[in-house]
């Protein structure tokens, strides 16, 4: 077991290094000339050359990457071209808002998705099942930004129950969380349902029932526990993706999180900030998948024998 | 019984054959057929746009906007109303279907093609080829797809071609995973080894034996990816990183539409409806194909 964890850990570190390299490539290979962005449109060649030298843009590729990487480790993720603020500080400053939305949406997905998935599996091929799966179909096909706009229209404009976006208390987070939650829950419902159907067919479930174990215990201990494995995998990556920032939803609702920051950075071609947000997102995903791999050990004992 | 009756009797006993094809199973699935109809309708709309749309999507009308700049409501002249620049909404909706379908279909095919090639290579050769390709795939999956797409499209000036090329080239990771898994299980079969023995080259085995036999799940994936990429294009257009104005796209129509929620709420309703219906169609067909290819009798 320790071997397995160690391998996963090393692999995660290697992936992070690889990601930092790709992230650096973004900074390096973007055709927009950063010197021109900093200097403005009326700079002459000498000024541009000076700026290049000042920012170290004229040194060899590998040296630039090395500097970049070491700086990352030291916490210096560069400075935004646009507002001259340190990138990491901006990211961390916006993180609580993103985390709030991400966690609430995530929990909502679980609360909606998992019971519906289980219900659909238990009542497989009945009208309940068909109804739920129709809901899943719509949930998967709805454009998130459209759902957000429609919800705002209904609940913030037609009926002035909720505020028109922005950050605040629970009434501000509810609509964006529902937008994400409803569309996201569809995946969980579908996943759990097919997982449970698969598990119910297994021999060990039949064996447990034949042994005389009560139906409830079989459902919970044998069916559910095993069915939840793929769901846990997905959930880990899902939450990690949300913590990296939801660009579209944050933009629709004016939610001051990392996603909104990312979008503004791209609009402004603010390269250090873009690279920083990409890296930030990816780090969460790697940590998320590492976390999932470790939790896997406790869910599926067969894994530790690999 | 005579000889031929005996032979066919034995044949049927030893090789019980079901004459039900994938298409038969698909046809019996009502939801799948509905999806197929939806897709066909959308494709017809896109292909026959010049014939179906009452006006050009770029034509602005004076009667389209009121004196205070409010878009005209649905009327005889504008069946679904006009937009903020006096253009006919119905015509724009119809032409916008071209963008969504073009992007969705081409990007899906490209991404699955690239992914399949990489995935099969990884599964077939194994060893460090597998390692390198799979680590690269995992790294690609770690990056938020939408962010990457927005970024690359913004750097290169956005156009329809750029958009589907970028989406296609960035979205191969899922297909690679599926293709690799399928390759590994196909290679368990003896006929792969048999081809080797007969002297087939690696590439021949890949293209002649492996790829044709793993097409099923890949076709399902392609269909589902079309739906996903249509939504991706919609999101891109909504935030302004998609096809440039004045080319009509459902996503950008929603964005301009939402600003007129008071005076013209229909502007943001119809494009979203079109997007949802189209994606529902592809999802239904994808699920239907999946069920038809893997019958659980």
In angstroms, what CA-CA distances link A168 with A93, A163, A254? 16, 9, 11
Question: Structure tokens of A14?
Answer: 């290697």
- Tell me the CA end-to-end span of chain B in Å, nearest whole number: 33
Q: Which residues contact A55 (CB under 8 A, 6 or more apart)?
A: A34, A35, A38
Of the candidates B226, B144, B132, B230, the residue with the CA atom closest to the CA atom of residue B176: B132
Reduced to 3 states, what is the DSSP secondary structure of residue B160?
helix
User: For residue B81, is pLDDT > 90?
Assistant: no
Phi, psi of A63 (to 5 degrees): -65, -40
Nearest to A31 among B155, B238, B275 (CB): B155
Q: What pLDDT sits at residue A32?
A: 56
Q: What pLDDT sits at residue A168?
A: 78
d(CA A260, nearest CA chain B) in Å = 11
Of the candidates B217, B107, B283, B218, the residue with the CA atom closest to the CA atom of residue A143: B283
Of the candidates A37, A24, A10, A8, the residue with the CA atom closest to the CA atom of residue A269: A37
A30: chain B residues, CB-CB within 8 Å:
155
Q: 3-state secondary structure string, chain A? A: CHHHHHHHHHHHHHHHHHHHHHHHHHHHHCCCCHHHHHHCCCCCHHHHHHHHHHCCCCCCHHHHHHHHHHHHHHCCCCECCCCCCEHHHHHHHHHHHHHHHHHHHHHHHHHHHHHHHHHHHHCCCCHHHHHHHHHHHHHHHCCHHHHHHHHHHHHHHHCCCCCCCCCCCHHHHHHHHHHHHHHHHHHHHHHHHHHHHHHHCCHHHHHHHHCCCCHHHHHHHHHHHHHHHHHHHHHHHHHHHHHCCCHHHHHHHCCCCHHHHHHHHHHCCCHHHHHHHHHHHHHHHHHHHHHHHHHHHHHCHHHHHC
Q: What pLDDT sits at residue B5?
A: 66
A274: chain B residues, CB-CB within 8 Å:
151
In angstroms, what CA-CA distances link A200 with A131, A197, A206, B7, B293? 21, 5, 8, 41, 21
CA distance A287 to A122: 34
User: For residue A191, is pLDDT > 80?
Assistant: yes
B280: chain A residues, CB-CB within 8 Å:
137-138, 141
A285: chain B residues, CB-CB within 8 Å:
141-144
Do B254 and A149 count as a contact with CB atoms less than 8 A apart? yes
Average the pLDDT over A24-31 and give the result. 70
- Contact by Cβ (8 Å): A276, A78: yes
Q: What pLDDT sits at residue B15?
A: 56
Reduced to 3 states, what is the DSSP secondary structure of residue B84?
coil
Nearest to B139 among A15, A26, A141 (CB): A15
- Contact by Cβ (8 Å): B146, B232: yes
Do B280 and A153 count as a contact with CB atoms less than 8 A apart? no
Count of other CB atoms within 10 angstroms of residue B96: 28
Q: What pLDDT sits at residue A6?
A: 87
Q: Is B91 exposed, middle or buried (0-12, 13-18, 19+ CB in 10 A)?
A: buried
CA distance B207 to A185: 39
pLDDT tens, residue by residue, B182-228: 999 888 888 888 888 888 888 888 888 888 889 989 999 999 999 99
Q: What pLDDT sits at residue A286?
A: 87
User: For residue B124, is pLDDT > 70?
Assistant: yes
Do A153 and B265 count as a contact with CB atoms less than 8 A apart? yes
Nearest to B272 among A18, A146, A278 (CB): A146
Of the candidates A123, A20, A90, the residue with the CA atom closest to the CA atom of residue A270: A90
B143: chain A residues, CB-CB within 8 Å:
19, 22, 278, 281-282, 285
Tell me which of A25 and B46 has the higher pLDDT.
B46
User: For residue A306, is pLDDT > 60?
Assistant: no
B272: chain A residues, CB-CB within 8 Å:
143, 146, 149-150
- The owner of tokens 């790697």 is A286
Per the prediction, chain A carries an average pLDDT of: 85
- Contact by Cβ (8 Å): A231, A113: no
How would residue A18 be classed by pLDDT, with cut points 50, 70 and 90?
confident
Average the pLDDT over A65-82 and give the result. 81
CA distance B39 to B277: 9
Reported as type and span, the H/E element at residue B292 is helix B266-293
Percent of chain B exceeding pLDDT 70 equals 93
Nearest to A141 among B239, B254, B283 (CB): B283
pLDDT tens, residue by residue, B130-149: 988 988 888 788 778 888 88
Rg, C-alpha atoms of chain A: 24
pLDDT tens, residue by residue, B235-251: 999 988 888 888 999 99
B144: chain A residues, CB-CB within 8 Å:
241, 244-245, 247, 278, 281-282, 285
d(CA A158, nearest CA chain B) in Å = 9
Nearest to B261 among A137, A153, A247 (CB): A153
- Contact by Cβ (8 Å): A143, B276: yes
Do A149 and B268 count as a contact with CB atoms less than 8 A apart? yes
- The owner of tokens 């909720």 is A162
Do B258 and A282 count as a contact with CB atoms less than 8 A apart? no
Q: What pLDDT sits at residue A119?
A: 92
pLDDT tens, residue by residue, A93-137: 999 999 999 999 999 999 999 999 999 998 888 999 999 999 999
pLDDT tens, residue by residue, B257-275: 888 887 888 888 999 999 9
d(CA A278, nearest CA chain B) in Å = 7
A157: chain B residues, CB-CB within 8 Å:
261-262
ipTM of the complex: 0.84
Nearest to A266 among B144, B154, B271 (CB): B154
A14: chain B residues, CB-CB within 8 Å:
135
Do B142 and A157 count as a contact with CB atoms less than 8 A apart? no
CB contact burial B251-274 (16+ within 10 A = b; e otherwise): bbbbbbbbebbeebbbbbbbbbeb
Q: In chain B, which residue's Cα lies nearest the Cα of A270?
A: B151
- Contact by Cβ (8 Å): B78, B53: no
> Length of chain B in residues, anyone?
297
In angstroms, what CA-CA distances link B87 with A8, B82, B92, B246? 57, 5, 8, 11
Nearest to A141 among B238, B241, B280 (CB): B280
Q: In chain A, which residue's Cα lies nearest the Cα of B233?
A: A143
d(CA B40, nearest CA chain A) in Å = 17
Q: What pLDDT sits at residue B11?
A: 59
d(CA A216, nearest CA chain B) in Å = 26
A32: chain B residues, CB-CB within 8 Å:
155
Identify the residue among A145, A190, A279 best suited for mutation to test binding to B, counting B beta carbons within 10 A and taking the highest. Answer: A145
User: For residue A31, is pLDDT > 60?
Assistant: no
User: For residue B87, is pLDDT > 70?
Assistant: yes
Question: Structure tokens of A38?
Answer: 């900093």
Rg, C-alpha atoms of chain B: 24
How would residue A188 be classed by pLDDT, with cut points 50, 70 and 90?
very high
Residues of A with CB under 8 A from a CB of B: 14-15, 18-19, 22, 26, 30-32, 137-138, 140-146, 149-150, 152-153, 157, 241, 244-245, 247-248, 251, 262-263, 266-267, 269, 274, 277-278, 281-282, 285-286, 289
CA distance B168 to B224: 14
Of the candidates A281, A240, A285, A279, the residue with the CA atom closest to the CA atom of residue A71: A279
CA distance A144 to A264: 19
- Chains A, B: CB pairs < 8 Å: 115
- Contact by Cβ (8 Å): B224, B178: no
């Amino acid at each position: 077991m320790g071997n397995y964890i160690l391998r996963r850990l090393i692999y995660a570190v290697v992936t992070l290094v690889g990601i930092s390299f790709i992230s650096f490539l973004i900074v390096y290979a973007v055709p927009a000339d950063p010197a021109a962005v900093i200097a403005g449109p009326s700079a002459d060649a000498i000024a541009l050359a000076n700026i290049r030298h000042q920012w170290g843009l004229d040194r060899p590729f590998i040296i630039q990457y090395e500097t970049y990487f070491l700086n990352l480790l030291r916490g210096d993720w560069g400075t935004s071209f646009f507002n001259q603020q340190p990138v990491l500080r901006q990211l961390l400053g916006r993180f609580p808002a993103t985390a709030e939305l991400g966690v609430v949406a995530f929990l909502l997905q679980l609360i909606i998705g998992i019971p519906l998935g289980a219900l659909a599996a238990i009542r497989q091929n009945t009208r309940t099942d068909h109804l739920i799966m129709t809901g899943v179909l719509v949930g998967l096909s709805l454009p998130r930004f459209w759902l957000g706009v429609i919800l705002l229209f209904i609940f913030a404009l037609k009926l002035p129950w909720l505020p028109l976006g922005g950050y605040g208390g629970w009434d501000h987070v509810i609509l964006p969380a529902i937008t994400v939650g409803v569309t996201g829950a569809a995946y969980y419902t579908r996943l759990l349902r097919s997982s449970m159907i698969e598990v119910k067919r297994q021999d060990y479930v039949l064996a447990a029932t034949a042994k005389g174990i009560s139906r409830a215990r079989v459902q919970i201990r044998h069916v559910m526990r095993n069915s939840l494995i793929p769901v846990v995998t997905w959930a880990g990556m899902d939450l990690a993706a949300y913590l990296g920032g939801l660009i579209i939803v944050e933009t629709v609702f004016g939610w001051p999180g990392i996603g909104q920051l990312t979008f503004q950075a791209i609009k402004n071609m603010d390269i250090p900030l873009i690279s920083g947000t990409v890296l930030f997102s990816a780090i969460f995903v790697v940590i998320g998948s590492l976390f999932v791999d470790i939790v896997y050990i406790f869910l599926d004992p067969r894994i530790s024998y690999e | 019984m005579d000889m031929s009756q005996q032979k066919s009797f034995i044949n049927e006993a030893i090789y019980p054959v079901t004459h039900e094809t994938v298409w038969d199973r698909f046809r019996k699935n009502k939801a799948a057929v509905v999806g197929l109809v939806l897709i066909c309708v959308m494709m017809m709309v896109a292909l026959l746009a010049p014939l179906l749309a009452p006006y050009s999507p770029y034509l602005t009308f004076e009667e389209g906007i009121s004196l205070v700049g409010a878009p005209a409501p649905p009327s005889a002249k504008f069946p679904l109303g006009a937009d903020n620049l006096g253009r006919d909404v119905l015509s724009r909706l119809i032409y916008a279907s071209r963008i969504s379908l073009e992007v969705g279909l081409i990007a899906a095919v490209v991404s699955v093609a690239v992914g399949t090639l990489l995935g099969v290579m990884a599964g077939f050769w194994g060893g460090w080829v597998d390692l390198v390709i799979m680590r690269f795939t995992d790294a690609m999956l770690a990056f938020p797809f939408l962010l990457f797409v927005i970024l690359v499209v913004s750097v290169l000036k956005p156009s329809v071609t750029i958009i589907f090329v970028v989406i296609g080239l960035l979205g191969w990771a899922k297909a690679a995973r599926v293709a690799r898994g399928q390759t590994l299980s196909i290679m368990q079969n003896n006929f792969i080894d048999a081809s080797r023995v007969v002297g087939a080259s690696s590439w021949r085995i890949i293209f002649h034996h492996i790829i044709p036999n793993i097409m099923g799940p890949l076709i399902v994936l392609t269909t589902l990816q079309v739906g996903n990429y249509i939504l991706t294009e919609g999101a891109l257009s909504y935030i302004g990183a998609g096809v440039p104005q004045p080319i009509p796209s459902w996503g950008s129509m929603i964005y301009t539409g939402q600003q007129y929620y008071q005076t013209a709420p229909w502007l943001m309703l119809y494009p979203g409806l079109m997007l949802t219906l189209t994606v529902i169609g592809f999802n239904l067909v994808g699920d239907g194909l999946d069920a038809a290819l893997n019958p659980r009798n």
